[in-house]
Structure 1
Amino acid sequence: MAEADPGPFGGLAPISEVAATGTELDALLRAARKPFVVRGLVADWPLIAAGKRSNREARDYMLGKARDRPFVVSVGSPNDGGRLFYDDRMGMNFRSGRARLREIFDGIDAAEGKPDAASVYLASIDMHDFFSGLYEENHVDLGTREPISSIWIGTRTRIAAHNDFPANLACCAVGRRRFTLFPPDQFDNLYIGPIDNTPAGRAVSMVDFHDPDFAAHPRFREALRHGLFTELEPGDALHIPSMWWHHVEALSGFNALVNFWWRESPRWMGQPQDALNHAILSVRDLPDDEKRLWRMLFDHYVFGNGENVTAHIPEEARSILGPLTAESAGRIRAFLLRSLSQ
């Protein structure tokens, strides 16, 4: 393949590439702490074969698998350059609605090749709920993992840097994708926006990667020192570990990406984001001396969690201070629901 284009940041390092199939992939995923690319991992998918023949054939293939139900679709404006983001008032610069997949694809067909066409984006569509047989013909064997399997479909788009709690294997099926990644600890240098008012459910970087304002975002230069990039062709896959920030660009006139999300921790464990939101509600605006005390308590019970927390309590009486189980997690969840409803 041609050398990948790092986009506007020529100094970024490329993401490491590995060769892996089957059990090799499983071992790599279990050990991975950094992202990696596997070229051609899913090159035998029928969706990829259809897309290589033409964009229309890729759409026809998906239409043949689609269930008869409305899909959520986002539509930008002709002048947004494909960037789905905030508008000047911190609302969204796109509108969202519901339509059958055939209606959406008819619109893409009609606008294909027009330079002023509005961007169209179907984000994180559950393959099991919205299609019949698409997953079965286009998936990766992830062993004992129970992934959420999603497909992302659309025209040229730019999605602001964000992170996800689950680990992710992103497989390019139609078109090309450019990913720009940053380690989890770079959040402060990426100038993250609101937690609750977001374009797609996760807080995003406020930096325009195509036109960064270094006067407004000077620490972004430090983030770039740690940035990585890759460009995926159909059949290539990228592993994005949990909490890595990723900026995603769909580069072709029509694109489809299939991704598989999973978490290594048990499903009955809570979402860390929920704990952060609750801490903002309950702790952040306390007086400084009270916040210092709560910081110590969090260190004691959560981040330190040493033997001194429970050594003086009989083992059978440690309740939720002992190792978490599905049962004790359920008790915590029920207690929180009662507390939050008061």
Structure 2
Amino acid sequence: MKPIREHHAPVPGRLPENLLEAAQPVVLRGLVSHWPMVREARRSDRAAVDYLHGCWGGAPVAIMTGPPEIDGRIFYNDDFTGMNFGRADAPLPTLMEELLKLADAERPPCYYVGSTTVDTCLPGFRAHNDLDLSALRSCDGAAPEALASVWLGNRSRIAPHYDLPDNIACVAAGHRRFTLFPPEQLVNLYVGPIDFTPAGQPVSLVDLKHPDFERFPRFAQALEQAQVAELGPGDALYIPSMWWHQVEALDAFNVLVNYWWRQAPAHMDPPVFALMLALLTMRDLPAAQRRAWQGIFDHYVFNAGPDTAAHIPEHARHALAPLTAEGAANLRGHLIQRLRQR
């Protein structure tokens, strides 16, 4: 493993303008060190909890709860018939007070709040703790419209997974270790089911804390390409779209706020839909037919360009025309109709 490259923010809150160009992860030391939440977290966990009490809007939060035996690893149960954690709803202040009580426990149960919308859970938070993304420009030249989410709990380990959106993860309290793998390491990560997952995204089945190289021998190659960084309060990390990442919360009380956005028009559906349809329609075809369809996808999707449909009159290109919101709605309706006919 090698360290993730770092950019030391000359001014807290200011993002480098070329952040998205290389599509490579970057540690942004001190990016949100000016947040009042970070200041309180550096004082003490008690101060951080008291600060969040003042931001809470009254809505309960969804909590993943696991016994001490899982060692913070949010994962499947032993026989892959379910998960090794339960779920419960509770007021955020109640959870945070419980975390403070367990701070000195040698083997506490795991409590994990994941991907909760900041504006719903902590409506007062972003008034003084926010990140300006206007310096960034997506592929269409527009500034990202990001969703801000909060992640909170005690020590936890979230297995390597990818996310479709680009992501800036900001540590507001505690410390977190991020281990990242480039997208092409998929074959070496031994990924589990895509439609039965601990938290929505497919995950690697390898335990990074105790890797079993007899069962997962190619994982050694993934580790050679891995990048790792440990972040403290005020630090941030840019995780490009589709990069695999494991996230470990290292302290008895941890808070992370992330911003994620897609570099794609809003009318485009998640590509995983195409993957699931491909499994349904193509994976089990004879090899020659799969190769033919691979060529078709290369022609119409992966290598598509101005010449792909240039021989068709512009008004008659239909689905082969540049995708618009209206065209996306037509394609979606056509697909839904065809699926209903099955």
What range describes the TM-score normalised by the shorter chain of this pair? over 0.9
Report Cα offsets for 1:191-237 as digits up to 9, x if no partner.
11110111111011111101111011110111111111000010011
Decide which of 62, 73, 76 is 1:72's aligned counterpart: 62
For residues 135 and 148 of structure 1, the distance between their equivalents in structure 2, rounded to whole angstroms, comes to 12
Where does residue 42 of structure 1 map in the other structure? 32
Where does residue 240 of structure 2 map in the other structure? 241
Where does residue 100 of structure 2 map in the other structure? 109
Where does residue 97 of structure 1 map in the other structure? 88
Give the secondary-structure state (helix, strand or coil) at the position aligned to 1:136: coil
Where does residue 128 of structure 1 map in the other structure? 119
Where does residue 253 of structure 1 map in the other structure? 252
2:299 equivalent to 1:300: yes
**What does 1:141-156 correspond to in 2, within 5 Å?**
141-143=132-134, 144-156=143-155
Identity %: 47
Give the secondary-structure state (helix, strand or coil) at the position aligned to 1:149: strand
Where does residue 221 of structure 1 map in the other structure? 220
For residues 236 and 77 of structure 2, the distance between their equivalents in structure 1, rounded to whole angstroms, comes to 32
Give the secondary-structure state (helix, strand or coil) at the position aligned to 2:223: helix
Query: Structure 1 stretch 163-172 or stretch 26-35: which is displaced more?
Result: 26-35
Q: Is the 8 A contact 1:22 1:141 kept in 2?
A: no
Which one-letter code corresponds to 2:220 in the other structure? R
Report Cα offsets for 1:7-62 as digits up to 9, x if no partner.
xxxxx111111134589625222313211111111001111111112112212211
Decide which of 32, 51, 60 is 2:50's aligned counterpart: 60
For residues 19 and 313 of structure 1, the distance between their equivalents in structure 2, rounded to whole angstroms, comes to 51
2:6 equivalent to 1:17: yes
Query: Structure 1's 130 and 23: CA in aligned 2 closer, same or farther, altered over 3 A?
Result: closer
For residues 291 and 325 of structure 2, the distance between their equivalents in structure 1, rounded to whole angstroms, comes to 32
Report Cα offsets for 1:287-311 as digits up to 9, x if no partner.
3333233222212211122455312
Give the secondary-structure state (helix, strand or coil) at the position aligned to 1:37: strand
Q: Is the 8 A contact 1:73 1:97 kept in 2?
A: yes
Q: Is the 8 A contact 2:45 2:100 kept in 1?
A: no
Where does residue 160 of structure 1 map in the other structure? 159
For residues 195 and 22 of structure 1, the distance between their equivalents in structure 2, rounded to whole angstroms, comes to 38
Report Cα offsets for 1:308-328 as digits up to 9, x if no partner.
531221011111201111221
Unaligned runs of 5+ in 2: 135-142
Query: Structure 1's 67 and 23: CA in aligned 2 closer, same or farther, altered over 3 A?
Result: closer
Query: Structure 1 stretch 164-173 or stretch 94-103: which is displaced more?
Result: 94-103
For residues 214 and 335 of structure 1, the distance between their equivalents in structure 2, rounded to whole angstroms, comes to 46
Q: State TM-score, norm by structure 2.
A: 0.93
Higher helix proportion: 1
2:319 equivalent to 1:329: no
Q: Is the 8 A contact 1:76 1:93 kept in 2?
A: yes
Q: Is the 8 A contact 1:32 1:241 kept in 2?
A: no
For residues 58 and 341 of structure 1, the distance between their equivalents in structure 2, rounded to whole angstroms, comes to 52
Query: Structure 1 stretch 323-332 or stretch 143-152: which is displaced more?
Result: 323-332
Give the secondary-structure state (helix, strand or coil) at the position aligned to 1:238: strand
Where does residue 139 of structure 2 map in the other structure? none
Q: State TM-score, norm by structure 1.
A: 0.93
Which one-letter code corresponds to 1:92 in the other structure? M
Where does residue 140 of structure 2 map in the other structure? none
Which one-letter code corresponds to 1:338 in the other structure? Q
2:50 equivalent to 1:51: no
Q: Number of matched residues?
A: 331
**What does 1:169-248 correspond to in 2, within 5 Å?**
169-248=168-247
Report Cα offsets for 1:143-169 as digits up to 9, x if no partner.
121101001000000110111111110
For residues 24 and 129 of structure 1, the distance between their equivalents in structure 2, rounded to whole angstroms, comes to 26
Query: Structure 1 stretch 229-238 or stretch 50-59: which is displaced more?
Result: 50-59
Q: CA deviation at 1:139?
A: 1.3
